[in-house]
Structure 1
Amino acid sequence: MTSIIFDLDGTLIDSAPDIHAGIAKLLQEEGLAPLDLATVQSFIGNGVPVLIERVMQHCFGSVDPARRDSFIARFMAHYNAAPTALTRLYPGVKGALVQLQDEGHAIGLCTNKPAAISGAILTGLDVAQHFRAIIGGDSVGAKKPDPAPLHAAVEALGGGKAIYVGDSEIDATAAAAARLPFLLYTEGYRKRPVAEIAHLDSFADFRRLPALVTAVAAKAAEAAPQ
C-alpha cells in the first residue's frame, strides 16, 4: 500500500495558540507587549529558529545573533512545558487516520518541529499509535523544503510509493523536490492562495482525505510500468 506522510503544524494540528502563548511569555520577559495571534501564526512554518528570527525582526527591527540562541531556548522551555494546552487536532483528523490505517496504509510524520516534542504532541492528542515513523527538523540535519526529511520518512516507512499531505508552500516545495504527490490541506497556515501552491489535489475536510488517497494511489498504479 501507499505510505501517507503528514506535516504537523497547520495540517494535523492547530498549534498556533500554544506557540502564540510561548512567544507572549518570552516577550513579557523582555518587557514587551504580546503580538496578536495572526501575526505569530504568519511566522510559523520554517522551524523554531526562523520563528524566533521573525519575532525579533518584527519587535526589534533586526536579529541580534548574540541573543537569538537565548530567545530560542527560552521559547522552547515555555512551549515544551505545555505543548497541548491549547493545541487541537483539526476536525476529522482522527477519523481519517483510523480509516487510512484500516485500509493498510503506513502513516508517518515529517515536520520542521523537533521530533521529540512532535511525538509528545501526538501522544497528548491520542493519535501517536497511528504513526510508524516521526521525522522532525532535528532528525536528519536538514529541514523542509529540503527533500532529505521526506526521503528519510519514506525510508522509515519501508520505501515504495508515498504521498505527502501538508498545508503550506514549504510542504509543496519539499514534496516536489522529493518527487512525491502532494495533497494540500487548505485550512492551515499557508501564506499564498491555493491556486499559487503546486499540488495534486486539495481538501478542506479531512473526511475527504481517504478517498483522495485512494484516487492518487490508483493513478500511480495505472502509470507504473507493467
Structure 2
Amino acid sequence: MDKFPFQIVGFDLDGTLLDSHGDLAHAVNHALALEGRAAIPAAEVRDLIGGGAKPMLEKALNVTGGAVPEARFDELHRALLAFYEEHIAVETRLFPGGEAMLDGLAARGVKVAVVTNKIERFAVKIFKELGLTDRFVTVIGGDTLGRDRAKPKPDLLHLMLERAGAGRAAYVGDTTYDTGAAAAAGLPCVAVSFGFNDLPSAQLGAAAVIDHFDELIPVLERL
C-alpha cells in the first residue's frame, strides 16, 4: 500500500465530526424561553450554527423577535452555555461512518486533531462522554488562544500543527469558518455536505466535498 499522503488530519467538531444540533437546539431554546420567545425547531437550529455560541444566539434572537440589549444578551448567553454544559452529549453522536473513518486513519498512522470554535472545555467534555478522547492528539477550542484568534483566522490550525508535530496536514470542516482558516493556514480542506453548511457545500471553497465519511480517506489519497 502506498504511503498515506497526510500524517495529520484536523477536524472541525459541530457539523463535521459530530451531529450536535439536537443538544445545541435545546440550549438555544432554553435561552429563548428565558426571554419569553418561541422555541425554534431543532431542524431549523442547524441553519444557525457556526462560529460559536454567541453568533448562534444572535441569529436565534433575530428570527424570534429581534436583538436584546447587550447586558441581557450576556445573561442569555451565560444561561445557554450553562444549560449546554449540563446536557452536552444527550443526542450528540458521530456522523454516520465516523467511527470507521477514524479507525481507518488510525490504521494508517495518521494523527487526528480537533480544531473547533466551541469552547475548549466543552469539546473536551463531549469527547470524554462519548468515549472518543483517546482518538485525538489534541483538542483545540475557539477560546484556547483567545476569541480574537478563532477561525476563520489561521491561528488555531497553526497551533494544531505545532502540537501534532511534523507531517503534511489536511483539515475537514463544514463552513466558511473552516475553509477560510484552512486557506489562511495553507492547508487543503475537505468539506462535508452533511454538516451545518453556511453556504452550499460546493461554494465553500474546499479542495473537495464529501457526502459521507466513507469517502474521506479515498479523497485524501487523491489530494
Question: What TM-score results when the alignment is normalised by the length of structure 2?
Answer: 0.92
Of 120, 123, 126, 2:128 maps to 123
| Distance across 1 between alignment mates of 2:151 and 2:110 | 23
| Distance across 2 between alignment mates of 1:198 and 1:158 | 27
| Distance across 1 between alignment mates of 2:201 and 2:81 | 31
Q: Helix, strand or coil for the counterpart of 2:40? A: coil
Q: Helix, strand or coil for the counterpart of 2:205? A: coil
What residue is the counterpart of 1:107 in the other structure? 112
Cα deviation for residue 51 of structure 1 reads: 1.4
What residue is the counterpart of 1:220 in the other structure? none
Contact 2:11 2:172 in 1 (8 A): yes
What residue is the counterpart of 1:200 in the other structure? 207
Contact 1:167 1:188 in 2 (8 A): yes
Matches within 5 A, 1:55-134: 55-134=60-139
| Distance across 2 between alignment mates of 1:200 and 1:32 | 40
Letter aligned with residue 180 of structure 1:
L
| Distance across 2 between alignment mates of 1:132 and 1:163 | 15
Please give the per-residue CA displacement for 1:10-49, whole angstroms capped at 9, x wherever unaligned: 0011101101011122222222221122332211111112
Q: Give structure 1 stretches of 5+ with no counterpart.
A: 217-226
Question: What TM-score results when the alignment is normalised by the length of structure 1?
Answer: 0.90
Matches within 5 A, 1:112-191: 112-141=117-146, 142-191=149-198
Contact 1:11 1:185 in 2 (8 A): yes
Q: Helix, strand or coil for the counterpart of 1:33? A: coil
Work out the percentage of aligned pairs sharing the same amino acid.
Answer: 33
Q: Give structure 2 stretches of 5+ with no counterpart.
A: 1-5
Letter aligned with residue 22 of structure 1:
A
Matches within 5 A, 1:11-26: 11-26=16-31
Letter aligned with residue 212 of structure 1:
V
| Distance across 1 between alignment mates of 2:117 and 2:38 | 27
What residue is the counterpart of 1:41 in the other structure? 46
Count residues in correspondence.
Answer: 216
| Distance across 1 between alignment mates of 2:72 and 2:7 | 45
Letter aligned with residue 58 of structure 2:
E
Q: Relative to structure 1, is the Cα distance of residues 159 and 54 closer, same or farther in structure 2, using a 3 angstrom cutoff?
A: farther
> After alignment, is 119-128 or 177-186 more displaced?
119-128
> After alignment, is 36-45 or 166-175 more displaced?
36-45
Contact 1:3 1:161 in 2 (8 A): yes
Contact 2:50 2:198 in 1 (8 A): no
Cα deviation for residue 63 of structure 1 reads: 4.1
| Distance across 1 between alignment mates of 2:131 and 2:183 | 31
